[in-house]
Structure 1
Amino acid sequence: MDNLFWIGFVGAAIAIAFAWLQSRRVMTFSEGSDKMVKIAASIREGANAYLKHQYTTVAKVFLVVFLVLLVMAFATGGEMLSQFTPFAFLTGGIWSMLAGFVGMKIATSSNARTAQAASESLNKGLRVAFSSGSVMGFTVVGLGMLDISIWFVILRFVAGIDDPLTLGNIMVMNGMGASFMALFARVGGGIYTKAADVGADLVGKVEAGIPEDDPRNPATIADNVGDNVGDVAGMGADLYESYVGSILATFSLGAIAGYGWAGMILPMMLAVCGIVCSIIGSFFVKTKEDATQKSLLTSLRTGTYLAAALSAVAAAPLTYLMLGNWGVYIAILCGLVGGCAIGYFTEYYTSDTYKPTQQLADASKTGSATIIIGGISLGLKSTMASILIVAAAVIVSFYAAGGSQSFNLGLYGIGIAAVGMLSTLGITLATDAYGPVADNAGGIAEMSGLPEAVRERTDALDSLGNTTAATGKGFAIGSASLTALALLVSYVSIVQEKTPETLDLSLTNPLMLVGLFIGAMLTFVFSAYTMSAVQTAAQSIVLEVRRQFREIAGIMEYKADPDYASCVALCTKGALREMVKPALLAIIVPILTGLILGPVGVAGLLGGVSVTGFAMAVFMSNAGGAWDNAKKYIESGHHGGKGSECHKAAVVGDTVGDPFKDTSGPSLNILIKLCSTVSIVFSGLIVAFHLLG
């Protein structure tokens, strides 16, 4: 059965080939006028400069951690840590970085092309932006499958590891590098994009009363750069980590459940089927001219739902042939259906075609305070649907896979449900990554003076992008909760092998209870650090924009150009400075907790951070998405339209929501999984050295 490993390479080749073809297709479109080309080049230059600085900073941290892992692995002869893990840590980080980088490169090459295409028709603008998103989506899944397949071959056929349990436990540790890079990319990019966005909105739209993306605003280029480094490069690294993490966790659970090599190969086969089905679904994403938001949403849903349906059909014979267990197939269906359901309810709470966001826009009639209160209430309420969906998926997949007969069989069902949920990530991520491209296209249309009709089309695509971005984040955090549970079980299994006595994981154990509290605290402190980082970086942008309006004569009359470069430099400096603290928090706290409270305390921490992190992430992402679309709902002509008092109140709400939905919220799902993988990798150290327990 292990000889079927080649299926992973086939899937990787199909995904990467499709991404390459889509990128070639995008590049055939025109970038428009000379002015559009110049603006796009400035955005591209800023994004490249930021990523160069970010990768240089992260490389130093990676080197330190690599050396620590190297010492742990070789000084103990591999007893404390597999000697392959330090090198897998590096490769995971490199692949994760590459996934984000490729996505950013195509996004910055597609923004002006999307604006130009939108000047011809709405459908053409949608197709160009979606094709750009497809490059990101299929690059992520292609590189993910390639990484997993290469390491499987190295461990199984080069190193000669013939025990599935040993190989599964080593493989699950390989996700740490991807999680590590994803957190830095998501946090750093999120700080950059929201610092620029908040600064541009507060001074430009609220104080100066000029339109969004007005060329007179010094922070506009930085804002557009931020869309790419945060919502594209950061998101690519984030979902690469989710995709790889879910498959690796299921590898370990398959071995624990006694399925052997078949339990490991099945997740790979499901992922490859998902790639093919996502490619088919992508051809059904199209719309008509003058389409409503509901019609545009239906266009994207058609592609994603079709891909999920095809995957469900393909998974049936695969599961039966590999395992002969229809219960595991039901678990896979739970993941597929659960992912679609989370996407639907995320759309319901964040799209302005539904009542929640429309009612939120109504709250602007009484000022910014009431729209902020309404947004917080909406976000809190929205957690119920996602949590109940995941809870149902966990219970059904556990018992369907045989949990009542064997606890380990049930846990494999939960892990394979996470793989099912992420199997169509190629098209799901394409619908998400398309959003920042559409947003940039709107900015370029405004700055280059294209007709109002073009801006209306790009605004429609941008508003849709806000909803699909929220859907993507809901999808990521939903799968993260299932993957985190699988990783928690892997951690307990690995620690139990190294500990002679049985671990007491009952809630009445004080070490477990304290660990739960620390995990819950970590969610809130991490969120505080990331929110504070945006506040600090945004303040410097606000002051700089005010200074330029005050000191550079002729900006408001179009007689002088703003100093865009200074805002780009400030955002770069602020993001790199502020991203380190929250990222290191996710690494240091689990290790310190383990060294003090022991393995049981860490298990409690993982439980606490998983539950609270899931709820907080859904709340923040949905509240932020609703605030943003409430603003766009008003801008479309409701409640007085642009420039009205309602619009000003909505801009303030959107500004509050920016770090919610693009910095803190999406970073929490990485926090959950990074804590788990760090705990697994350092489990040998924690078992050997701890004060209590």
Structure 2
Amino acid sequence: MNLPVVFWLIPLASVCALMMAWLFFQNMMKEDEGSPRMKEIALYIRRGAMAYLRQQYRVVLIVFVVLAIIFAIMAYGFNAQNPWVPFAFLTGGFFSGLAGFFGMKTATYASGRTANAAREGLHKGLKIAFRSGAVMGLVVVGLGLLDIAVWFLILNSFYSDMDPHTALITITTTMLTFGMGASTQALFARVGGGIYTKAADVGADLVGKVEADIPEDDPRNPATIADNVGDNVGDVAGMGADLYESYCGSILSTAALGATAFAMSADDMQLRAVIAPMLIAAVGVFLSLLGIFLVRTKDGATMKDLLHALGVGTNTSAILIAVATFGILYWLQIDNWMGIGCSVLSGLAAGVIIGQATEYYTSQSYKPTQRIAEASQTGAATVIIKGIGTGMISTCVPVLTISVAIMLSYLCANGFDLSMSATSISRGLYGIGIAAVGMLSTLGITLATDAYGPIADNAGGNAEMSGLGEEIRHRTDALDALGNTTAATGKGFAIGSAALTALALLASYVEEIKLAMSRAVTHGQQFIDAAGQVFDPAKATMPDFMNFFQVNLMNPRVLVGAFLGAMAAFLFCGLTMGAVGRAAGKMVSEVRRQFHEIKGILEGKATPDYGRCVEISTKSAQHEMILPSLLAIIIPIVVGMILGVAGVLGLLVGGLAAGFTLAVFMANAGGAWDNAKKSVEEGRFGGKGSPCHKATIVGDTVGDPFKDTSGPSLNILIKLMSMVSIVMAGLTVACM
């Protein structure tokens, strides 16, 4: 089919994003890294991070090769799989890992330079940290759009002889499969990085700050280098891979839904509906760049000033993309362009509301976190109780927001048609998918605010270990506290977008089942419905499929699947929390051993064995990440083989509902505990070293795996289970 000229805006936007990322990286590298001691500490962290990443990629490579071979056997040996799947799977994983690698490389070079810039003033420190974080955001959207554009061109050329309407459905569903590669890589990166960083963080806090009564990031603490390395492998490399697959997944699932919803439309309406989410994302790249340049502040700024500075950039980008979206849809002349534009608006609004709600519940500038700090006056137990309660209450606004966004985006896109006809459902689901695209369209700047956090945290660590003085440390603490809030906001944003994307993937799963059944029919297999009639998947609508597979609440397969999906979320959290506990236990023992056996550490007369702590975190993360990550792949396959399509749909719904709520709870509780500790460290209730401070450290220690391991990994879990179900649709049909 002939592509419109406007399609080339998509690869152009990707190239612009990558070029600006390179420019920001080069400008950062020109900055002074500081004193010889600052350079030495930055080098320790950089080497540790890269060593861990190389080891992780070796493990993940083995998993990818095995899965690619299985997909190849299914595709070429049993005709139960699309022949492009093995290649798409590998490229998705490769680009996801590449995004994380580039982001982490930038962060490990930027932290020392941010610390040195803080010696000159808060404004320069914020600028270097934020624009270095922007490298991650721009690399993710640049590589994502490049991957999508190249695959679309390749498959469009390959299926050029096919009927255009059928070709677009085949192309978009095929492209969905590289989302599984991205999701698999992201889950390993998030889980492994989360275990690494929290094992080191917990060990450093419990022994160093609570038992030895030394400051955070003190060079006398053997775990402090591992802790700083962990910030990069978990919150930068892991997060980059995570949001890469969210970004691509939302665009591709919406494109697939557009191909189905407008399949019967005249002219090239179907093609325009397919490229619309890609164009919205492309325009979002340029508006994200504008927002990045708007972020600025002055020396002496307060926390609210810093939050306002970031808010100006992100909110300006969000408002402009909302306006631009209506222009894009109008220019493409898509049916009901105004309604679909409102769907995008609902996604954008949901993202902003979730971000603001997360900020309210996790920032030390607001009552919920302040009350957790107040609870420290009666001990660590009340800090933990108050934090858990705050986290649970904080789920209300995001859940209600996503629920309203789902209903609005569905109804706006189908013209408020409540008939539940095939056309009404497919158009409504397209609206939900494009709402997710709207939420993620400004990911270039949204991810910059998130990646900024670990860079600022590492800058504070470098300042402490280099002995830069109280004034400089106060500036880096301000940047770090802002980073805690932006990181929590970013996690809430990622989880919210995951909910919309996963819902769109549910509909895409049904379309993939349809294609798998059609392939089976061409090889002589017949499907008989409940009335004893031959079921023709090629002519069936989505309601027909729901009736054929008896997808309703009275079907025990659906209910059992829903229970299994909810269980999977809790099982996954339990395994990852347990992994952090075991790894942290080893770290605590090692730090205690060094304090006891290496004389002179606490007096600053001897150098700790930093390498041993880095080694413990690395080995623990590599070992512990395998089981939870593989379960996310195995569970949908087993459920599909035993309970069929109805069971899988129940699994995905149960996993989505439980996983989304649990993820918000864990991320917000962890963020609130962290900032409650920061609030006490600023002088409230006795300040650093006081009993209240130690109580909040215990709360923060409990919250560490909540917010940095289990919570953020859940949004990948719910999407990965959907992606695995889509890729393994052929096997599910073969087992019918």
* Both structures adopt the same fold (TM-score exceeding 0.5): yes
Aligned to 1:676: 722
Q: Which moved more, 1:497-506 or 1:456-465?
A: 497-506
Residue pairs, 1:303-322, within 5 angstroms:
303-322=313-332
Aligned to 1:525: 571
Rate the CA distance shift 1:498–1:84 in 2: closer, same or farther, 3 A.
closer
Within the alignment, does 1:579 sit opposite 2:581 as a pair? no
Within the alignment, does 1:656 sit opposite 2:674 as a pair? no
Aligned to 1:18: 20
Shift of 1:497: 4.7
Distance in 2 (alpha carbons) for counterparts of 1:290 and 1:664: 36
Within the alignment, does 1:62 sit opposite 2:64 as a pair? yes
Aligned to 1:31: 33
Shift of 1:205: 0.3
Aligned to 2:295: 285
Within the alignment, does 1:360 sit opposite 2:372 as a pair? yes
CA contact (8 A) 1:216 1:558 kept: yes
Aligned to 1:106: 106
CA contact (8 A) 1:515 1:608 kept: yes
Shift of 1:5: 3.2
Shift of 1:496: 3.9
**What amino acid sits opposite 2:428 in the alignment?**
G
**What amino acid sits opposite 2:662 in the alignment?**
M
Distance in 2 (alpha carbons) for counterparts of 1:498 and 1:210: 61
Rate the CA distance shift 1:176–1:114 in 2: closer, same or farther, 3 A.
same
Residue pairs, 1:182-581, within 5 angstroms:
182-258=186-262, 259-322=269-332, 323-324=334-335, 325-402=337-414, 404=417, 406-499=424-517, 500=527, 501=529, 502-581=548-627
Residue pairs, 1:549-628, within 5 angstroms:
549-628=595-674
CA contact (8 A) 1:72 1:81 kept: yes
Shift of 1:2: 3.0
CA contact (8 A) 2:99 2:244 kept: yes
Distance in 1 (alpha carbons) for counterparts of 2:131 and 2:476: 16
Aligned to 2:540: none
- Give the 3-state SS of the residue equivalent to 1:555 in structure 2: coil
The superposition leaves residues 531-564 of structure 1 with CA deviations (integer Å, 9 ceiling, x where unpaired) of 0010011111000000000000010111100000
Distance in 2 (alpha carbons) for counterparts of 1:231 and 1:152: 31
The superposition leaves residues 279-338 of structure 1 with CA deviations (integer Å, 9 ceiling, x where unpaired) of 001111111112111111111011000000111111111111221421000001111111
Distance in 1 (alpha carbons) for counterparts of 2:159 and 2:621: 41
**What amino acid sits opposite 1:420 in the alignment?**
G
Which of residues 689, 708, 731 in structure 2 aligns to 1:643? 689
**What amino acid sits opposite 1:198 in the alignment?**
V
The superposition leaves residues 142-192 of structure 1 with CA deviations (integer Å, 9 ceiling, x where unpaired) of 000001011101111134353211212112222110000000000000000
CA contact (8 A) 1:496 1:503 kept: no
TM-score for the superposition, normalised by structure 2: 0.93
Distance in 2 (alpha carbons) for counterparts of 1:286 and 1:357: 26
**What amino acid sits opposite 1:185 in the alignment?**
A
Which of residues 149, 172, 179 in structure 1 aligns to 2:176? 172
CA contact (8 A) 1:81 1:684 kept: yes
RMSD between aligned alpha carbons? 1.0
- Give the 3-state SS of the residue equivalent to 1:312 in structure 2: helix
**What amino acid sits opposite 1:137 in the alignment?**
G
Distance in 2 (alpha carbons) for counterparts of 1:287 and 1:263: 41
CA contact (8 A) 1:40 1:444 kept: yes
**What amino acid sits opposite 1:475 in the alignment?**
F
Q: Which moved more, 1:165-174 or 1:407-416?
A: 165-174
**What amino acid sits opposite 1:54 in the alignment?**
Q
**What amino acid sits opposite 1:459 in the alignment?**
D
Q: Gapped runs of 5+ residues in structure 2?
A: 263-268, 518-526, 530-547
CA contact (8 A) 1:2 1:262 kept: no
Shift of 1:498: 4.2
**What amino acid sits opposite 1:269 in the alignment?**
L
Q: Which moved more, 1:606-615 or 1:681-690?
A: 681-690
Which of residues 42, 45, 65 in structure 1 aligns to 2:47? 45
TM-score for the superposition, normalised by structure 1: 0.98
- Give the 3-state SS of the residue equivalent to 2:573 in structure 1: helix
CA contact (8 A) 1:82 1:170 kept: yes
- Give the 3-state SS of the residue equivalent to 1:557 in structure 2: coil
CA contact (8 A) 1:361 1:630 kept: yes
CA contact (8 A) 1:2 1:265 kept: no
CA contact (8 A) 1:491 1:676 kept: yes
**What amino acid sits opposite 2:148 in the alignment?**
I
Q: How high is the sequence identity, in percent, across the aligned residues?
A: 59
Distance in 2 (alpha carbons) for counterparts of 1:556 and 1:202: 15
Aligned to 1:84: 84
Aligned length: 688
CA contact (8 A) 2:7 2:279 kept: no
CA contact (8 A) 1:399 1:410 kept: yes
The superposition leaves residues 222-269 of structure 1 with CA deviations (integer Å, 9 ceiling, x where unpaired) of 000000000000000000010000001001110111151111110111
The superposition leaves residues 373-409 of structure 1 with CA deviations (integer Å, 9 ceiling, x where unpaired) of 0000000000000011111110011000015161110
Q: Which moved more, 1:160-169 or 1:409-418?
A: 160-169
Distance in 2 (alpha carbons) for counterparts of 1:590 and 1:517: 13
Aligned to 2:144: 144
- Give the 3-state SS of the residue equivalent to 2:395 in structure 1: helix
CA contact (8 A) 2:81 2:516 kept: no
Shift of 1:76: 2.8
Distance in 2 (alpha carbons) for counterparts of 1:516 and 1:496: 22
Distance in 2 (alpha carbons) for counterparts of 1:512 and 1:72: 26
Distance in 2 (alpha carbons) for counterparts of 1:363 and 1:435: 26
Q: Which moved more, 1:499-508 or 1:67-76?
A: 499-508
Aligned to 1:129: 129
The superposition leaves residues 13-68 of structure 1 with CA deviations (integer Å, 9 ceiling, x where unpaired) of 11101101111111111000000000000000000100000000110010000000
Distance in 2 (alpha carbons) for counterparts of 1:76 and 1:525: 33
Distance in 1 (alpha carbons) for counterparts of 2:720 and 2:14: 25
**What amino acid sits opposite 1:524 in the alignment?**
F
Distance in 2 (alpha carbons) for counterparts of 1:638 and 1:199: 25
Give the structure with higher Rg (CA).
Answer: 2
CA contact (8 A) 1:350 1:356 kept: yes
CA contact (8 A) 1:216 1:555 kept: yes
Distance in 2 (alpha carbons) for counterparts of 1:265 and 1:255: 10
